[in-house]
Amino acid sequence: MRRLAAELGAGTMSLYNHVPNKAVLVDLAAERIMAQAKPYHVDSDDWRDHIRAHAKAVRALAQQHPRAFVMLATRRLSTEAGFRTIEAALTNLDRAGFRGKVAVGMMRAMVSYLLGTLMREVATSPELGGIALSPYEGVDASAFPLSAEVIDELGTYDHDHEFEFGLELMIAALERYQEPD
């Protein structure tokens, strides 16, 4: 709050004339960023295509606001901006025949995948303000034979490939859970 007040050229206590506490201020910032989310368009009725497009829209928002993405991930967005995203996710699952508690569980599983993979991407992408990870060195192949075998792969990231790979795994899991028609 002190830093924000300094940037605005105001006193810290004067901020409380506009917001009751820091949590509300963070919620408002998250809502403002979420309102910038671009709606996606898909020329398909296939629920899988909609889930892919929705996930890619969330990724684009994370890449657009990498420093704020953790804030977005940890807030309960209960205004129009937040419910637009929730409604889109539930609509996609409804297309596949998932409703109620099952749809909410699947939506949360997808959100968990997106948050995990996108927070790792943001944190390890210097172009997004993250820190490049140093390569693994000195791995004892006798103690960790499987890790040593794939050490080069473990030490590098291909965020585009990993995002698509994980997304397809999630969709395959949803397909397996789907009731036969």
- Residue ranges of domains in the chain, CATH in brackets: 1-34 (no CATH), 38-177 (1.10.357.10)
Whole-number pLDDT of residue 9? 82
- Is 95:47 a contact under the CB 8 Å cutoff? yes
Res. 170: pLDDT tops 90: yes
> pLDDT (tens digit, 9 = 90+) per residue, 86-122?
898 999 899 889 999 999 999 999 989 998 999 889 8
Whole-number pLDDT of residue 117? 92
Residue 52's Cβ-count burial label (10 Å; 0-12, 13-18, 19+) is: buried
Whole-number pLDDT of residue 161? 95
Within the chain, residue ranges assigned H as helices are 2-8, 12-15, 22-34, 47-64, 69-73, 80-95, 100-123, 145-149, 151-154, 159-177
Inter-helix orientation angle 159-177/100-123, to 10° = 170
Which residue's structure tokens are 């397996």? 176
> Which of the residue ranges 21-25, 39-43, 150-154 has the most confident prediction, judged by mean pLDDT?
150-154
> pLDDT (tens digit, 9 = 90+) per residue, 34-70?
887 777 888 998 999 999 999 999 899 889 888 887 7
What is the Rg, in whole angstroms, of the alpha carbon atoms belonging to the chain? Answer: 20
Res. 179 pLDDT band, cuts 50 70 90: low
- Is 108:86 a contact under the CB 8 Å cutoff? no
Q: Is 56 helix (H, G, I), strand (E, B) or coil?
A: helix
Which residues neighbour 162 within 8 Å (Cβ) at sequence distance 6 or greater?
117, 121
Which residue's structure tokens are 């499987």? 146
Nearest to 47 by CA among 179, 164, 160, 175: 175
Higher pLDDT, 27 or 160: 160
- Alpha-carbon distance of 40 to 53, in angstroms, equals 6
What's the DSSP call for residue 44? -
Range in 65-69, 136-140, 150-154 with the lowest mean pLDDT: 65-69
The overall average pLDDT reported for the chain is: 86
